[in-house]
Amino acid sequence: MPQFSYSARGPNGALQKGAMQAQSATAVADQLQSGGMIPLAIHEAKEKGRMGEKLQRALDFRNRADLDDLILFSRQMYSLLHAGIPIIRSLRGMLETVKKRQMREALQAILEELEGGRQVSEALEEHPQIFPPLFTSIVQTGEAGGRLDQAFLEISSYLEREKETKMRVKTALRYPTFVVVAIAVAIAILSLFVIPTFAKVFAGFDAQLPLPTRVLMAVSDFAVAYWPYVLGAGAALLVGFRHYVSTEKGRLRWDRFKLRIPVLGSIFLRASLARFARAFATGFSSGVPLLHSLHLTARSVGNEYIARHVEDMRDMVERGESLTNSAAASKLFTPLVLQMLAVGEETGGVDSMLGEVAEFYDREVDYDIRNLATNIEPILILIIGAMVLVLALGVFLPMWSLGTAALG
């Protein structure tokens, strides 16, 4: 959306200047007039300046708003609004304590839009890179019901549990990632430094080397001679992979593949389903309509493959199917979860049952993470055993053969 700078006369005649995002200069003028201001000049910001600002923000990782900033913002907004402090005054006070530049600029823009007469949810929607759709929808529902403080409390509780789920997934990935990196480093050291040393020793003997040794030396010679090209090809593959998964088709296939990875796939699946249940329960209990809650949940679940199934559930519910039948048709949920959903529909407590579903999946994720080391150890033993076997056949076997020939 374009950025406009403006100057206007306030109701008291004072000159005010600022910036605002809108579809056109006319929309800016309408917003200013709705706030009791008289527009004097409206100018669209130059595209070059906006592109430079976007590039600077993309490279400035430390000033990006993250989940912790959203949690703190929601908690502070609840505390201030619950204490009866007006929202504009609350935002002005928060601006003095916010450290992240992206968050500070967003709050400044939101404050200006609120002073121009816009609703809180409308102002938040102008910053989707910080505030997700579910966030703004719950705020919009809280505004309509006169319970904006409770809306921020529900959002903060949801985001805190979301953070816990993400931390569980990161914990699950930390151990196998470390092992894979260590194995890759070990292979690189062997190929570039250790095996070439043995190759010089073998070259001094005029003897036929075993096939495993010749293969190992050929691989080492290739790595030593072409390692810059190998690194370049690896970097190109990484860039190409990231570009592929950024497309709709690539992201769908990659997210589906992650759910099928041995051992880790079940953790990803349960964590995503816990996120689905919690997001859906939070939105539905906050007064967001059922179909809209499903749509927002699909956008916030974090997995495109599961999001497609959630959208299919939404379509089935829209056609008149029950939520339980729609969930069963997706084939994502266990019979126990489907039974809990059925009880929730019968008793009118779908949101509370979905909260129980989220807790159920959280417990399963915790159990899987605690047993991850035990489950992955056989795979790691096989990989390490294969490396030892390759070294034994490729390095020590010719040494034994040459030693036997020398003694003979």
Query: What would the pLDDT profile of 39-89 be if each residue is shown by its tens digit?
Result: 767 776 654 444 444 445 444 555 677 888 888 889 988 898 888 888 888
Phi, psi of 127 (to 5 degrees): -130, 65
Task: Identify which of 268, 275, 319 has the alpha carbon closest to the alpha carbon of residue 300.
Answer: 275
Question: For residues 263 and 318, which has the higher predicted lDDT (pLDDT)?
Answer: 318
Residue 169 pLDDT > 90: no
Between CA 83 and CA 22, with CA 11 as vertex, the angle to 5 degrees is 80
Provide the residue type at 156 as one letter: S
Count of C-beta atoms within a 10 Å radius of residue 372: 19
Are 21 and 3 spatial neighbours (Cβ–Cβ below 8 Å)? yes
Using an 8 Å Cβ cutoff, are 209 and 202 in contact?
yes
Residue 256: the pLDDT is 92
Enumerate long-range contacts of 315-324, CB under 8 Å, 24 or more apart: 317/290, 317/291, 318/291, 323/290, 323/350
Average pLDDT of every residue of the chain: 80
Supply the pLDDT for residue 239. 92
pLDDT single digits (tens) 125-142: 888 888 888 788 788 878
The pLDDT of residue 296: 79
Q: What span, in angstroms and rounded, lies between the C-alpha atoms of 132 and 251?
A: 19
pLDDT in tens, 340-379: 888 888 888 888 888 888 888 888 888 887 777 777 778 7
- Residue 47 pLDDT: 45
Per-residue pLDDT, 370: 78
* Residue 275 near residue 163 (C-beta atoms within 8 A): no
Please give the pLDDT value at position 349: 83
Question: In angstroms, rounded to a whole number, what is the distance separating the alpha carbons of residues 34 and 134?
Answer: 27
Write the CA distances from 86 to 14, 80, 213, 333, integer angstroms: 23, 8, 77, 44
> Angle at Cα 131 formed by Cα 128 and Cα 136, nearest 5°?
100
Order of strands across the sheet that contains 3-9: 15-21, 3-9, 38-44
CA–CA distance, 287 with 251 (Å, rounded to integer):
31
The tokens for 102 are: 């992206």
pLDDT digits (tens, 9 = 90+) for 301-316: 778 898 888 889 889 9
Residue 324 pLDDT exceeds 80 = yes
Question: Mind listing the pLDDT tens digit for each residue in 197-249?
Answer: 777 776 666 666 677 777 878 888 888 888 889 889 989 999 999 999 888 88
